[in-house]
Amino acid sequence: MRIFQKTNFNFIKHRKIAYAISSILLVAGLVSLFIRGLNYGIDFKGGSEVVIRFEKPVDVGAVRSIMEQAGVNGSVKQYGLDRSFLLKTDFQGDTSKLKALISNSLASRLPDNASQILSVQAVGPSIASDMKMSALKALAAALVGILLYVSVRFEFKFATAGVVAIFHDVLTVLGLFSLLGGLFDFMPLEVDQSIIAAFLTIAGYSITDTVVVYDRIRERLRGQKPSDYERIFNESMNQTLSRTIITSGTTMLSVIVLFIFAGPAIRSFAFAMFAGILVGTYSSIFVAAPIVFDWQTRSKSPIKFRGA
């Protein structure tokens, strides 16, 4: 089977359209980040999360009102698809007191529907701010590391354009999280540690995708005149297009499986990966390589080839 026989898209010619689309995506994301902010999970905000499961189906409103009357202020949401609920509160003290408060009030108000506390997570504010810092450090270190590696293997222009593409991807996904955060009960899109993991994986995936395109460009560019660059860029991208789409496809396949089967704890992560792969694939074709091309045609200095 073969999906892409011989494609002949003129990517470089239409790059301005792609730049415009990317700018709109980025601006929309940034505006949302500025206005709506992010829906932080307890990892980065502090607070407590309790998962409660009931023996029989129960209305979320009933649980909510019981919690309100018990003096536990926070939100109650359906967790997963069974009879479980996720309670979130600012409570940061002795979790055993919180647990007792919850189970006592549930037992007295819903005596014929036994409930069980499945998990309790409590994160203090100082830990939360530490986690935020180390997440930022990890992202920064990853970007610097990738910049260095690609600079050594290719050229600084390629590396910079690659990192620009990573920024583009991460910011776009972050913008999506900001826009859609908290809108869906089955997928809260909270920014927590697992989302940072997703971002780092997206960064790795995005540069991988980009490097494959770069690799082909470099291979074909050797010994060619600058006037042929536009044709070679286009041909290289067309030749790698099949691989790019197939790899994204298989990876997305596994991410979709995660989204469907791995349960509510993984769902936001899977969504981030899904969006990241989509944007990452797009950016390697429409952002990274075109930036190198533009930079190249403007700078007039020939590309210095390093590496294999």
Contact range with another protein by CB under 8 A, out of 25-33, 107-115, 167-175, 208-216: 208-216
Q: Least Å distance between CB 175 and another protein?
A: 21
Among 78, 113, 160, 193, interactor with another protein by CB under 8 A = 193
Helix spans in the chain (H): 15-35, 42-45, 60-70, 95-109, 125-153, 156-180, 193-221, 229-261, 264-283, 289-299
Site membership for another protein, residue 153 (CB under 8 A): yes
Q: Which of residues 86-145 bind another protein (CB under 8 A)?
A: 90-101, 116-124, 126-127, 129-131, 133-135, 137-138, 141-142, 145
Site membership for another protein, residue 278 (CB under 8 A): no
**Shorter beta-carbon distance to another protein: residue 8 or 96:** 96
CA distance 74 to 87: 7
Closest of 308, 286, 226 to residue 18, by C-alpha? 286
Structure tokens at 229: 């660059």
Q: Which of residues 231-260 bind another protein (CB under 8 A)?
A: 239-240, 242-243, 246-247, 249-255, 257-258, 260
**Shorter beta-carbon distance to another protein: residue 134 or 224:** 134
Contact range with another protein by CB under 8 A, out of 7-15, 33-41, 71-79, 292-300: 71-79
Is the CB of residue 189 less than 8 Å from the CB of residue 271? Answer: yes
Helix spans in 36-59 (H): 42-45
Residues 6+ apart with CB under 8 A from 64: 76
Site membership for another protein, residue 81 (CB under 8 A): no
Q: Which of the 8 DSSP states describes residue 231?
A: H
